[in-house]
Amino acid sequence: MEQDFYSILKEIHKDKIRDEYWQEHNINNRAKQEYAKFCIWCRAFKNADFSEQNFKLYQKQEHTHFDFWLKKRIAELFYGYEFEFDYNTMKWKSHKKSH
């Protein structure tokens, strides 16, 4: 019985490690964390103006190195952009969602 208890605890521990790894690498979670840091920066330096222009300035001044996928997800979640891949040009195209 005791061995079963420890086996269950080991599995619970493995599940927790997997969940933490997923949270750390999940694009939605990463986008929300980075946007939260940007919001703090805006409150400190830009009078709480969370504009796209300030987001670009934040990236430059703070030397962030967001990859395309993270920038794309932030644009989708917080600035209302939609993206689609154009197979004719082999490039991503974006536009603001119409309300």
Say whether pLDDT at 99 is over 80. Answer: no
In which band, very low, low, confident or very high, does the pLDDT at 1 lie, cut at 50, 70 and 90? Answer: low
pTM summary value: 0.77
26 token code pair = 């999940």
In which band, very low, low, confident or very high, does the pLDDT at 23 lie, cut at 50, 70 and 90? Answer: confident
CA-based nearest residue to 44, from 57, 27, 31, 26 = 57
17 token code pair = 């490690």
CA-based nearest residue to 69, from 55, 83, 52 = 83
Across the chain, mean pLDDT equals 92
pLDDT tens digits, one per residue of 41-76: 999 999 999 999 999 999 999 999 899 999 999 999
- The dihedrals phi and psi of 51, each to the nearest 5 degrees, come to -75, 165
